[in-house]
Structure 1
Amino acid sequence: MEAISNSVGGNVPKTNGVNGHSNGTSGHSANTNGHSVQNGNSKRPIRIAGCSGGVYDRKRAIHDMAKNEDVDVITGDWMSEANMTLRGSDKREKLGSGTLVGKAYEPYFLEELDPAIPWLAKRGVKIAVNAGASDVQGLAEAVRGLVEKHGVDLKVAYVDGDDVTDAVLKLYKQGEKFLNLPANKNIQDWGYEPLCAQCYLGGTGIAACFEGGADIVVCGRVADASVTVGAAMWWHGWQREANVQELAGALMIGHIIECSTYATGGYYSGFKDLGDQDTDMGYPIAAIDEKGHAVITMEKGKHGLVTPATIASQLLYEIQGDLYYNSDVTASISDIRLESVGKNAVKVSGVKGSPPPPTTKVGITAKGGWQAEFHFFLTGLDIEEKAKMIERQTKETMGEHLSKFSCLNFTIAGKVPEDPQSQDEATVDLRIFAQSRDPDILSASSIIDSDRGSFARFCIENLLQGYPGSTMAPDMRQAIGRPFFEYWVSLLPQTFVKETAHLHDGRVIDIPSPSVTQEYAREQPDQPATINPADLSRFGPTTRVPLGYITLGRSGDKSSNANLGLFVRHDDEWDWLRTVLSTDTLRKLLGKDDAGRQIDRCEMPNIKAVHFLLKDHLDRGFNATSGYDSLGKNLCEYIRAKHVEIPNKFLERGRV
């Protein structure tokens, strides 16, 4: 059928004869239509499951959720800054060489979807996922193939427009600065040539697909939480400009469930509460009502926990401050509330909404060069001196080739304890990490070619004149150069985004940029220290112990930014935490890791949390970083291990 373009003005497009569960019989007796009215003028909450937080999440999730749980929509996210760069660059290279693009999507989604398809059809469960990467149309076609294989009637739609390469490259050539979000630098000072660009879409296109009768909606790159926003928008009939408050609530619920079991006990600093019930954690389910409030539960009969602490932990993950921006809406979370309403059930409310910004985040990819690493094992005494010897010898061997490395780091991981009780205890790792734009200096062939310099040879050649006990890692594969990408995060006006929803019957619906937006300051509000600090002497005697004895928290990344949220369990500990945890205190706790860069601080009193945003803390982000903590996930555990003076009366309650 010939595609017909429709402009929808910013509201969810309306089509005739749309049924919320268009295939088979719904497994939910209370619902036969996604827009049915029950209990007077109230619609029942939509039940949305979060079944994937990354490419390699467990494969059982979609199948088990569709078969065993009463849910309306299953969501999942297979996208990250890593595969955005990889798939996007692959697409541009193939287009440049005139070859077929093909399969620039995440195939792992198909492996999870395949066994679930019969149950999706039988129980009338819909799906919205973020897995198309740089070939969302190809993914939609692959999904249709699976549906046909199973012989069921499921309608597949897709949302595109996130590939903004042409628009970004045109603006770049015209001199657009594309200020970097973490460091506020111009892209002209980057030193790399942009290759491709992908922006983050909202949920309006997903809602349009469901409104048009779709059962499965695949997206290239919507924001992580947008799949939940789109599903709730469709179900409740919300409009982008008219239902800002409700959309903001759904946005934060989407944020909580988008990393799957991060909300139910995974990556939880209180993980010891799980005991040994940690091998098959349940995936989260959010029941979002017409006000945008929700009760979060999880799969029945599975391991894990849903408590205010597990939900607060995930709420604090990867946020950038009080304001949480999306293409559809902006949410303020400083007054968010989490309330236990039953076993493994937490109500989320208190989110405030405002219009979206006129811009959306855009990630720009460039080829960075090649990188490799080499490892030595150092044992016993004089570790620092042994490491310095390795560095001197290696650099001397490199000679004139030293200048070819754009990055060359020597890093010790670990520390030998006093009087170690085993040789393993007495052994640490020395990592030599290298990056270069010269492929030869890191190429596989040059490892054994004595006539050419190579990173691996530079490291190996000093083995017999090395430190006492010289031992290298036996696996040489890491020393062979592999390509890496640089990633530049900036903002793009939403008016440059040409988003479209492609329905199962050939219709194409244009999704315009928001008609109502609000300008926000580039930097979020910062409160370096608390207002009205408490007199710390009132808390009584203290003991110097790890901060994590009474605090929980979570940290994460966004490009090269790291975020850190810490919270306490008891109300009377809140005044102590907010008073102690100033920005200056955090810098002291960071120790050698404080590079003096910008740190923003805010408070969330209802969940007893202090949040920090560490700007440009992660050395360029996951794709290019030279550090161990490439995703910022261990920052929280490092800070929780640092010693501070904690009131004894808090410690008497037992440590986390």
Structure 2
Amino acid sequence: MTLRIGNASGFYGDRFDAVREMLTGGELDVLTGDYLAELTMLILGRDRLKDPGAGYARTFLRQMEECLGLAHERGVRIVTNAGGLNPSGLAEEIRQLAGRLGLPVRVAHVEGDDLTARHPGNLAAHAYLGGFGIATCLKEGADVVVTGRVTDAALVTGPAAAHFGWGPKDYDRLAGAVVAGHVLECGAQATGGNYAHFQEGDVRRPGFPLAEIHEDGTAVITKHPGTGGFVDIGTVTAQLLYETAGARYPGPDVTARLDTVGLTQDGPDRVRIDGVRGEAPPPTLKVGLNRLGGFRNEVTFVLTGLDIEAKAALVEQQMADAMAKSRPAQVTWDLVRTDRPDAPTEETASALLRLVVRDPDQETVGRTFSGAAVELALASYPGFHVLAPPGKGTPYGVFEDVYVPHSAVDHVAVLHDGHRIPVTPAHDILVLEEVPQPPLPEPLPVTEPTRRAPLGLVAGARSGDKGGNANIGVWVRTDEAWRWLAHTLTVDRLCELLPETAELRVTRHPLPNLRALNFVVEGILGEGVAAQHRFDPQAKALGEWLRSRHLDIPEALL
């Protein structure tokens, strides 16, 4: 029997109406919602500092006020990680809501991820749990399951394990569900959202995805009829590569082998996933640590017309002199040449000079820094103005991950009546090792004529963040294009095309089944997204920058 699992949220702040859309748009057995990201945990940690009863995604509670009755009426069970730092608090709020609405809804939650007490100095320290706590809650009759920090894919593996009776050693089945869960977790990114070839369909309002999961772990990714966007091998490939690394995709329940994934178009807006193999999970669980790193401030100077570089040099020297007595710990300048010669508008005649400062002391990047910038208003380069005056300085966060044994967490399913059921940690484990490089296809003949053109004319890409690292997944659609890409886009070539990566460690992972290369760029995001280390702090557009770069491409592929 097929289990239909839909997703209605890819992050805290996603489309509010998606819960109702998914519940009314077609048949579902389970509706999931993913609200957590590395940055979200920091935001919730700061919420909890102000209010110890906070720490969960408040929008989910408002969504339940509108749709809990609808889910109950349609027999759809709800599984969400919206509990964040306070899953018991959110579960209790939903119980009270169900009571007010007169709904006989059983609400359970999962505990054990919170390790903050063991990591002093951090706002939040949470282990990534697997899906068997969710499965226990569902098997014991829960209609709604609230979790804290579980892996995103656990929102799918838990319901699948409960429905089909999978055990901890059903690695291939679990791995199939992990892959399906990874495709669903970012919502509309699987249905044409943020997609390199977005012009191939109507993505003005893409629908949210669902997976039809079978007992053997195979799945079909699709969406409700009549919703926007589209589902094809490309959209699923893009999401499979998102925020991953090598062929082994580790998790607390299973390590999924991404190099075994098979994708087949199974009809309009239907992609079949099969062939996925799984291995025992690694011996440790990932723990995400979020702490305040200090304070930051920024100002963007607008430089218009002639002598852009001289104007930039003047204001840089003036700010350096003004900050000499209380120089911030980190000072970063970026000159963005958005100007063009003989421009028809003032905006297109202007360049942007961005100054970012960081320091443990708020005063240093606050009033002292802001005053120095503002005081230049009538005493600097001609045409002086800024995009916005600098403020008082805001706190920024730092993310890092550490690893602990499975036995270090007390994974517990807490049922609607308060009964607590411990979840047994994985017994069989397998130390992660790099998969040997797979054989590559024969390269195209060197005699083929080429033309200088953007990589994006033949390849798609998607990029994202994992702590301070970024990944760039690049894929092509034909075997001939794969023969070219596999031998052309080496680490050295990537570093040439993206000079920001040249001094960093870059690792290439070929995935021939997907006709894809996945690059991991270490350290490009500094101390993580909350530190806002670079212009694109989550590396969301790194892949699109790569696609815009020119290289010699065989004319036959163009």
Same fold at TM > 0.5: yes
Return the offset for 1:228. Answer: 0.5
Of 118, 124, 128, 1:200 maps to 128
Q: Give the match for residue 463 of structure 1.
A: 377
Q: Deviations over 1:521-554 (max 9, x none)?
A: 4xx4585x9746515514x211111111111110
Contact kept in structure 1, 2:3 and 2:214, CA below 8 Å: yes
Q: Give me the whole-angstrom Cα distance separating, in 2, the residues matched to 1:537 and 1:293.
A: 40
Letter in structure 2 aligned against 1:502: V
Q: How does 1:173-572 map to 2 (within 5 A)?
A: 193-241=121-169, 243-274=170-201, 277-402=202-327, 405-443=328-366, 446=367, 454-473=368-387, 475-476=388-389, 478-521=390-433, 524-525=434-435, 531=440, 534-538=443-447, 540-572=448-480
Q: Give me the whole-angstrom Cα distance separating, in 2, the residues matched to 1:221 and 1:111.
A: 21
Q: Give me the whole-angstrom Cα distance separating, in 2, the residues matched to 1:469 and 1:510.
A: 67
Q: Deviations over 1:118-177 (max 9, x none)?
A: 2111110001001111111110011112212221111100001110123345xxxxxxxx
Q: Give me the whole-angstrom Cα distance separating, in 2, the residues matched to 1:605 and 1:531.
A: 7
Letter in structure 2 aligned against 1:142: E
Letter in structure 1 aligned against 2:77: K
Q: Deviations over 1:329-361 (max 9, x none)?
A: 100111311111101110011221001111111
Q: Deviations over 1:83-107 (max 9, x none)?
A: 212323554x57xxxxx61021110
Contact kept in structure 2, 1:455 and 1:479, CA below 8 Å: no
Return the offset for 1:367. Answer: 2.2
Bigger mean CA offset, 78-87 vs 255-264: 78-87
Contact kept in structure 1, 2:188 and 2:209, CA below 8 Å: yes
Q: Give me the whole-angstrom Cα distance separating, in 2, the residues matched to 1:419 and 1:566.
A: 38
Contact kept in structure 2, 1:336 and 1:604, CA below 8 Å: no
Contact kept in structure 2, 1:547 and 1:641, CA below 8 Å: yes
Q: Deviations over 1:438-479 (max 9, x none)?
A: 122234xx3xxxxxxx11111122232322221112x33x53
Return the offset for 1:316. Answer: 0.7
Contact kept in structure 2, 1:325 and 1:356, CA below 8 Å: yes
Provide the identity percentage: 36
Q: In structure 2, the residue corresponding to 1:588 is in which secondary structure?
A: helix
Contact kept in structure 2, 1:209 and 1:501, CA below 8 Å: yes
Letter in structure 1 aligned against 2:373: C
Q: In structure 1, the residue corresponding to 2:22 is in which secondary structure?
A: helix
Q: Give me the whole-angstrom Cα distance separating, in 1, the residues matched to 2:133 and 2:58.
A: 22
Q: Give the match for residue 4 of structure 2.
A: 47
Q: Give the match for residue 63 of structure 2.
A: 112
Distance 1:219 1:414, change over 3 A: farther
Contact kept in structure 1, 2:442 and 2:483, CA below 8 Å: yes
Return the offset for 1:625. Answer: 2.5
Distance 1:162 1:73, change over 3 A: same
Whether 2:107 is the aligned partner of 1:129: answer no
Q: Give me the whole-angstrom Cα distance separating, in 1, the residues matched to 2:352 and 2:146.
A: 43
Return the offset for 1:268. Answer: 0.3
Q: Give the match for residue 180 of structure 1.
A: none
Q: Deviations over 1:38-85 (max 9, x none)?
A: xxxxxx110000110001111111112122310100011111111212
Q: Give me the whole-angstrom Cα distance separating, in 2, the residues matched to 1:469 and 1:106.
A: 45
Return the offset for 1:381. Answer: 3.5
Return the offset for 1:384. Answer: 3.0
Letter in structure 2 aligned against 1:623: A
Distance 1:530 1:466, change over 3 A: farther
Q: Give me the whole-angstrom Cα distance separating, in 2, the residues matched to 1:546 and 1:526.
A: 31
Q: In structure 2, the residue corresponding to 1:233 is in which secondary structure?
A: helix
Letter in structure 2 aligned against 1:626: H
Bigger mean CA offset, 149-158 vs 255-264: 149-158
Contact kept in structure 1, 2:501 and 2:521, CA below 8 Å: no
More relative contact order in 1 or in 2 (CA 8 Å, sep 6+)?
1
Contact kept in structure 2, 1:46 and 1:287, CA below 8 Å: yes
Distance 1:195 1:142, change over 3 A: closer
Q: Give the match for residue 152 of structure 1.
A: 103
Q: TM-score, normalised to structure 1's length?
A: 0.82
Q: Give me the whole-angstrom Cα distance separating, in 2, the residues matched to 1:149 and 1:381.
A: 67
Return the offset for 1:387. Answer: 2.0
Q: TM-score, normalised to structure 2's length?
A: 0.96
Q: In structure 2, the residue corresponding to 1:54 is in which secondary structure?
A: coil
Distance 1:57 1:410, change over 3 A: same
Whether 2:485 is the aligned partner of 1:586: answer no
Letter in structure 2 aligned against 1:87: L
Letter in structure 2 aligned against 1:371: R
Letter in structure 2 aligned against 1:254: G
Distance 1:588 1:168, change over 3 A: same
Q: Give me the whole-angstrom Cα distance separating, in 2, the residues matched to 1:323 and 1:124.
A: 36
Distance 1:223 1:480, change over 3 A: same
Q: How does 1:52-131 map to 2 (within 5 A)?
A: 52-88=9-45, 90-91=47-48, 93=49, 101-131=52-82
Please, which runs of 5 or more residues in structure 2 have no aligned partner?
Answer: none
Q: Give the match for residue 576 of structure 1.
A: 484
Return the offset for 1:414. Answer: 4.3
Contact kept in structure 2, 1:59 and 1:111, CA below 8 Å: no
Letter in structure 2 aligned against 1:284: P
Q: Give me the whole-angstrom Cα distance separating, in 2, the residues matched to 1:536 and 1:413.
A: 40
Letter in structure 1 aligned against 2:88: Q
Contact kept in structure 2, 1:433 and 1:626, CA below 8 Å: no
Contact kept in structure 1, 2:245 and 2:509, CA below 8 Å: no
Q: Deviations over 1:214-251 (max 9, x none)?
A: 0100101111111001011111110112x111000100
Contact kept in structure 1, 2:116 and 2:125, CA below 8 Å: yes
Contact kept in structure 2, 1:248 and 1:292, CA below 8 Å: yes
Please, which runs of 5 or more residues in structure 1 have no aligned partner?
Answer: 1-43, 95-99, 170-192, 447-453, 652-656
Bigger mean CA offset, 480-489 vs 311-320: 480-489
State the superposition RMSD in angstroms.
1.8
Q: In structure 1, the residue corresponding to 2:498 is in which secondary structure?
A: helix
Bigger mean CA offset, 380-389 vs 115-124: 380-389
Q: Give the match for residue 615 of structure 1.
A: 522
Return the offset for 1:383. Answer: 2.8
